Amino acid sequence: MSSSLRFRAAIVSVAIFLVFIGAWHLATRSTGSVAAMNPEYAKLMGLNATQGKSAMPGPLDVGAKLWEHIRQPFYDNGPNDKGLGIQLAYSIARVAIGYLLAVAVAIPLGFLIGMSPLLSKALDPFIQILKPISPLAWMPLALYTIKDSSLSAIFVIFICSVWPMLMNTAFGVSAVRKEWINVARTLEVGNVRRAFTVILPAAAPTILTGMRISIGIAWLVIVAAEMLVGGTGIGYFVWNEWNNLSITNVIIAIFVIGLVGMILDQILARFTRMVTFPE
């Protein structure tokens, strides 16, 4: 039953994909009239003008270009022209550093906030104000104070991934069932041991949910941050190709960004499943 459902779903997915590609292909076919112009003038004009080609690339153009990128993902032609693989590696490295810093700060702090009602109340106004600030709004301030563009990008990742983790950790810790803590107390378990053996496992699913939200946001933000700062990374790649008005490469970048985002999310989803427990 379930395998047949999966099979049928796959068929529908493939059908949707084919319809989408077909519609895209039809919509971007060259429709404009082929202009009659003298050959010398035609040589100076692009395909749009001479062959009435649509400015929007079709699926075949994108496929061919994608194949080119896949065949050579790690070439390096100087500071402004690197392969897609290298650009992705830069972005992932930045996200990883900023994100791990956020984990290192958010989880202990979230623990403290969750365990102490006093701290929770005291820090609440600050968190409430800082949480809704768009990460990119930090960028000019970061560039101005840190004075280093790649550190600024990492800082922006840090600042945007810290809040969901902090909130979720605090919530998860404070929502641990009182019975379990009371049992631990009855058994005279020390504070540290209680935190690690009772509260942490109990709050882990919520904490990991927070981490999963954060990684999603971090990946959203890195593209925008790199477009702003330039230099390296997938966001810079998009900006550079936009500068060249190469929609084909922009589409490829969008696809790759989606793919990597999905992979990052799936990794954390797997971790979440590992720590989830039946009550």
Partner 1 sequence: MSTFDNPFDPNRRLSSFGCSCGRHATDAEHQAALQFQATPAESDEQRYEGVVASAVMRAMFPQDAARRAFLKSVGAATAVAAVSQFFPLKTATEVFAQGAPLEKKDLKVGFIPITCATPIIMAAPMGFYAKNGLNVEVIKTAGWAVIRDKTVNKEYDAAHMLSPMPLALTLGAGSNPVPYTMPAVENINGQAITLALKHKDKRNPKDWKGFKFAVPFDYSMHNYLLRYYLAEHGIDPDADVQIRSVPPPEMVANLRADNIDGFLGPDPMNQRAVYDNVGFIHILTKDIWEGHPCCAFAASKEFVTTMPNTYAALLKSIIDATAFAHKAENRKQIAEAISPANYINQPQIVLEQILTGTFADGLGNIVKQPNRLDFDPFPWQSFAIWIMTQMKRWGQIKGDVDYKAVAEQVYLATDTAKLMKEVGLTPPATTTKSFVVMGKTFDPAKPEDYLNSFKIRKAS
Closest to 237 measured CA to CA, from 257, 264, 220, 218: 257
Q: How far is the CB of 48 from partner 1 (least distance, A)?
A: 4
C-alpha 142/C-alpha 7 separation (Å) is 50
Of 151 and 220, the one with the shorter C-beta distance to partner 1 is: 151
What are the start-end ranges of the H helices in 28-46?
39-44
Cβ atoms 157, 225 nearer than 8 A: yes
Q: How far is the CB of 248 from partner 1 (least distance, A)?
A: 13
Of 194 and 226, the one with the shorter C-beta distance to partner 1 is: 226
**Residues within the interface to partner 1 (CB under 8 A):** 37, 40-41, 43-46, 48-49, 55, 77-81, 143-144, 147-149, 227-231, 236, 239-245
Q: How far is the CB of 43 from partner 1 (least distance, A)?
A: 7
Q: How far is the CB of 228 from partner 1 (least distance, A)?
A: 6
C-alpha 270/C-alpha 275 separation (Å) is 9
The half-sphere exposure of 81 on its side-chain side, counting CA atoms within 13 A, is 4
Of 149 and 248, the one with the shorter C-beta distance to partner 1 is: 149
235 CA to centre of own chain:
11
C-alpha 196/C-alpha 10 separation (Å) is 43
Q: How far is the CB of 174 from partner 1 (least distance, A)?
A: 42
Of 20 and 41, the one with the shorter C-beta distance to partner 1 is: 41
C-alpha 211/C-alpha 220 separation (Å) is 14
Query: How would you classify residue 147: left for phi > 0, otherwise alpha for psi between -120 and 50, otherwise beta?
Result: left
Of 142 and 184, the one with the shorter C-beta distance to partner 1 is: 142
Cβ atoms 237, 202 nearer than 8 A: no
Token couple for 173: 């810790």
Of 230 and 258, the one with the shorter C-beta distance to partner 1 is: 230
Q: How far is the CB of 95 from partner 1 (least distance, A)?
A: 19
Closest to 85 measured CA to CA, from 63, 60, 68: 68
Of 140 and 201, the one with the shorter C-beta distance to partner 1 is: 140
Q: How far is the CB of 17 from partner 1 (least distance, A)?
A: 28
List beta partners, residue 81.
none
